[in-house]
Amino acid sequence: MVKEDVLALGAESVIFKLERWNQAFVLKSRQAKPYLLEEIDSLLRKTRTARECRTLIIARTLGVRTPAVYSVDLNNYTILMDFIEGTQFKLLAEKLPERQLTRLCFKFGESIAYLHEGEVVHGDPTTSNVIVDNQQRLWLIDFGLSEMNATVEMKGVDLHLIRRALETTHWDRQESMLNATIEGYVAVLGDGAEGPLSRMNEIRERGRYH
């Protein structure tokens, strides 16, 4: 593989773009962290690769768009999946007029709600981990920290992470973005949104006083 194939360098992974049979794929490869003990590092990479693969697939059954997975190699910590043609939501958000932005945030909230409805939490629900295609559809990626059998507390944490990500990445538009995201979340879950949302606020208060 040559350097030109590298699409992105994440905190813990290298993303390669490959073209075969006129189709584009992504190979996500989790790299060793030199400052971690070898056994711990390999266990972490294996767990996260397995988790990511599993949740990419489960999310689809819950109505959330994710890249199709073709293979997973737990010994090399790699996943081969579809390349999603589009733009990182994080980058797109900076350029969009208010109305389009809130429409996408609403969809983001819906997607997170579909996961939560299926007792799944994303674990790293930032706007870097959402791709928007040219039909304004959202694709969720980066499920290495996701978990199943999620409790209300875990869902609250997921929502808290969204709020924090919006505060740090989109500070100038965080309020309208968060409101639209919550609207989408509530539109899917109805009364079921109350528990996770009040937990989100509680977590913020806990953070303030500790």
Question: Would you name the residues annotated as active-site residues?
Answer: 124
Tokens of 8: 């992105």
Question: By rule CB under 6 A, what string of x and - marks binding of each residue 100-129 to ligand ADP?
Answer: ----------------------------xx
Q: Is the dihedral of CA 17, 19, 25, 31 positive or negative?
A: negative
Q: Does 142 bind Mg ion (CB under 5 A)?
A: yes
Binding mask 10-49 for Mg ion (x = CB under 5 A): ----------------------------------------
- Examine residue 127 and tell whether it contacts Mg ion (CB under 5 A): no
Strand 78-82 to 23-30 pairing:
antiparallel
Type of residue found at 208 = R
Mask for 7-26, x = binds ligand ADP (CB under 6 A): xx-xxxx-x----------x
Q: Is residue 112 within 8 Å of residue 82, measured between CB atoms?
A: no
CA-wise closest residue to 12 among 54, 51, 44, 39:
44
Tokens 């609250």 label which residue?
A: 156
**Part in contact with Mg ion (CB under 5 A); list of ranges 23-31, 63-71, 92-100, 121-129:** 121-129
Residue 50 lies near ligand ADP (rule: CB under 6 A) = no
> Can you tell me which of 28, 65, 155, 170 binds ligand ADP, judged by CB under 6 A?
28
Q: What are phi and psi of 57, to 5 degrees?
A: -80, -45
Residue 59 in the binding site for ligand ADP (CB under 6 A): no
Phi, psi of 69 (to 5 degrees): -100, 130
Point out the residue whose Cβ comes nearest to Mg ion: 142
Window of 1-9, 107-115, 127-135, 147-155 that interacts with Mg ion by CB under 5 A:
127-135
Pairing of strands 78-82, 69-73: antiparallel
Per CB under 5 A, the list member of 29, 66, 129, 181 interacting with Mg ion is 129
Instruction: Estimate the crossing angle of helix 174-189 against helix 98-117, to 10 degrees.
Output: 40
Q: What are the respective helix, strand and coil percentages of the chain, to the nearest 5?
A: 50, 20, 30
User: What residues line the site for Mg ion (CB under 5 A)?
Assistant: 129, 142
User: What residues line the site for ligand ADP (CB under 6 A)?
Assistant: 7-8, 10-13, 15, 26, 28, 67, 81-84, 88, 128-129, 131, 141-142, 144
